[in-house]
Structure formats: structure tokens, C-alpha cells
Structure 1
């Protein structure tokens, strides 16, 4: 059985110099491909052909930066525990580490999915990826401080809080920490959103690949909007400088409670997109539409 790839015959000496030979060493033509520069994706559409060397360098750099940021979240970052009591105290910080790990991992996975779908190496893609690295390295400390404070509130102080507030204006300090957290979360969501929007504007994205990219863009646009609402509430509460005790305690934590809305909005969003995805038609190799 002949396993050679189909070729296009080209006239006369035009084939010479192209370096395409068959199994017998004869120059016969060039591989037939309906879309130069594009390769089939797993859903029947086509995507940009990756550039292995450049792609590997960008991926390695982004992965290393995210891995380094995770090392800053270790449960005992000042020094190793020297006794069982210190170990027990360090283990109380495990919930903070788990939540922060999940959030950072979510953004890393979003960038991984984008890279798997679209092997883009243009200037905008590199710039947005580098901006994502920069933000995550700045965001990791406010993330740990705010998340420890929030979990300390939820557990009644069992999880130790790493957020120290000034005695003069603790409410304003807390809202400033919430604001920094929301800006970091929102910027990372915006960058993932823009990466996917940029991919949609590039040639070669079609079929279910295009639908999945649009779904990913919409999800992170929604997260960015929630972060914007939280940041706005932080600014308002910072100006009001409400006390941390009494009836205003719930209002003080409102910027963080805003993110709880994602627990309802995101499952609804993905369920809705999933139902629509099942009816999407993609072109097959023979031109007939098939449904995913």
C-alpha cells in the first residue's frame, strides 16, 4: 500500500529546487494542502501551523514564571518549621495556599488552552503573554494577603490572617488591599480575554475551534466585569471608611463577596454555551457540514 502523502504535480523544472522527493529519490512535486500555513484541528477546522522553536521558548518562559509565582505561596515562606507546634501553625495556612494555587492555576490553564488552540507568535500575542507574566508576579502577594484575610473571616480566625491593618484607618487599609486584589484579578482576566479575541481576528480559526475560543473570551470578559464591580465598591467603601465591627462589617467585606457571584454566573454561562455548542456545524473534508 502506498503511504506517501498526496502531491500536486507542477510543470517542468518548477519542481526542481523545492527539495521535495518521493521514496525513489525523484522530485515529483510538493505536498498538496488546500490552505498553506494552516493545519487541521481536532474539531475538523483549521488553525495556524505552529512554529516549534519560538513556541517552545514562549511557553517555557510563561510556565516558568507561573511556577515561580506558585513558590511564593508556600505555607511557610519565612523559614522552615523547627517544631511540631510550628508545623501545626504552618498547616493552618494550607487552605490559603490551596485557594491561591487554584486561582493562579486557572489563569495558567487559560493561557495553556489558548496556546494549544492557536500557535500565534506575532507581536501582540507575545506582548499580551509577557503582560500576563508581569501581572501574576505582582499579583501573587496581594492575592495571598487578601485571601488569608477572607478565609480568616470565614473560619472565625482559625486560618491566620496575613493582612495587617493600621490602627488609625483599618477600614481604608482593608479596602485598598481589596482594590489591589481586584485590579490584579481583573487585569489577568482582561489579558486572557484579549488573547482569545486576538485569536478570533486571525485567519484560520473556524468551526468548533472558533466557537470554543469565543466561549473562553466571554468567560474571562465576565470575570473582568465582576472584578471591575468589586474594585468600584472598594473605592466607595474606602471613601466612607466604615468601621470593621458592628452592622457595617458585612458591607466592609462586600467587595470580596462580589466574587461569590461567579459561583453562580460561571456554571450558568458554561452550561448555556455547552448547549449551543452541541448544535454547531463544522465543515468536513468533503465540504459537508457535521455537528459537534
Structure 2
């Protein structure tokens, strides 16, 4: 290993530690107890009611973090583009944590008919529009950043004489949530505030189409003869 490669490996490791730490910090912003300790059994039960929203939010943060972990497997070197996009992902993650928590806390509160606590109640069309738009746009930015990271990884592998197919498949994988988040935000903007409340579930149901990742990646693999 040359001195340059050794130095790049150290820089890549430092970047990864920073990204990991930043994602870990976002999880502390989601902690169910926040800055208060329950003083009674009733307060404890109220706090524990936030576990479903916390679990869903935790899973979403882990989803994006693991995307960055997989990217590093294809781009071992440290370069300016990878650094910029990784920092951009962290930037969006620190913004995403707020609409993320509000979205899931509000949804679980609505589904449980108020049994599960939420500081944000989805009781008006205007609130749902704002939340869907904010969530969808930041969701799109995070997924789009990961798609760009894998695009960069594919270019690096091609430049090094390696097959870029796996990185290109990952890029396709992240294009699906990128498009869905944008469509959800646009639909929330397009819906009139006067439509029945049931219509406001449509921007959320769009995310169910994430299942398309499976068929699209399998089609990509068949097309390129990947096992």
C-alpha cells in the first residue's frame, strides 16, 4: 500500500466516524424521554407510549445510515465529491429528524385514536400538507444524495477497471425513494385543503410503493446477467 492510499484510507475512516457519530446524534434527538425523567407511573406509561413512533423513526434513520455504509464498500478512497455528498447527507439527516418524528408520532396518535401521545396532532388539512411536504422534500434530498453517492462510486470503480454494476444497482435502489418522496410532496401541495380528510392519506400511501425496489433491482440483475 502506497503512502497516498494509506492517507486516503485514514481520511475515509475519519469521514465515516463523523457520519456515524452524526447519525447517532440524530437518534438522541428522538429519544422518547427527551430531557425529562418520569416522576410517576402515569408519566412513565405516557412516555412509553412514544415507543412505536420512536421505533419507526429509528428504523428510518438506520435505513439511510446503512445506505452510507454500503456506499463505502464501493468507494474506499477519500475524495472531494465523496466528502461533500457525505456531509450533505449529514446536513439533511439533522433536518430530517424533526419532520420524521412529527410524522410518525402524529400518525400513531391518529391510528390509536389519541391513545398514543404526540406533541403534534394531525387534525387539520393545513397541518398535514405542511408535514407531508417537509417530510417528502427532505426524504427526497436524503435518498437523492445516496443515489448520487452510488453514482460517484460507480464512476470510481469504472475508472479503476472494476465492474460498476453493483454500485449502479444501488443507485437505482435509491432512485425509487427519491422519486416517491418528491411525488408525495407534490401531491400534498396539489390536494385542495377542502377535500375530505381521507384523501390526505394518499401522500403517505405513496411510500408503500417502496416495494418496487425489489422488482426493479431484480430486473436490473437479469438485464446485466448478475446473480
Length-normalised TM-score, structure 1: 0.70
Runs of 5+ unmatched residues, structure 1: 1-30, 38-47, 281-291
Query: 1:154 deviation in Å?
Result: 2.8
1:125 paired residue among 65, 82, 86:
82
Residues 115-164 of structure 1, C-alpha deviation per residue, up to 9 Å, x if partnerless? 12211322111111111001100110110001111222333333223324
2:198 paired residue among 221, 236, 250:
250
8 Å CA contact 2:110, 2:121 repeated in 1: no
8 Å CA contact 2:106, 2:121 repeated in 1: no
> Could you say which residue in structure 1 is the equivalent of 2:150?
196
Runs of 5+ unmatched residues, structure 2: none
> Could you say which residue in structure 2 is the equivalent of 1:54?
11
Q: Which has the larger radius of gyration?
A: 1
The count of corresponding residues between Structure 1 and Structure 2 is 224
Higher helix proportion (structure 1 or 2): 2
Matched, 1:159 2:116: yes
Q: Distance in 1 between matches of 2:178 and 2:7?
A: 29
> Could you say which residue in structure 2 is the equivalent of 1:176?
130
1:234 paired residue among 166, 184, 188:
188
Matched, 1:139 2:87: no
Instruction: After the TM superposition, list the runs of 4 or more consecutive aligned residues in structure 1 that deviate by more than 3 angstroms.
Output: 270-277
Q: Distance in 2 between matches of 1:115 and 1:87?
A: 40
Q: Distance in 1 between matches of 2:62 and 2:160?
A: 28
Give the direction of change, closer, same or farther, for the CA distance of 1:153–1:273 in structure 2 (3 Å limit): farther
Q: Distance in 1 between matches of 2:90 and 2:53?
A: 22
Length-normalised TM-score, structure 2: 0.89
Higher strand proportion (structure 1 or 2): 1
8 Å CA contact 1:242, 1:252 repeated in 2: no
Residues 59-91 of structure 1, C-alpha deviation per residue, up to 9 Å, x if partnerless? 111111000001111112141111111111111
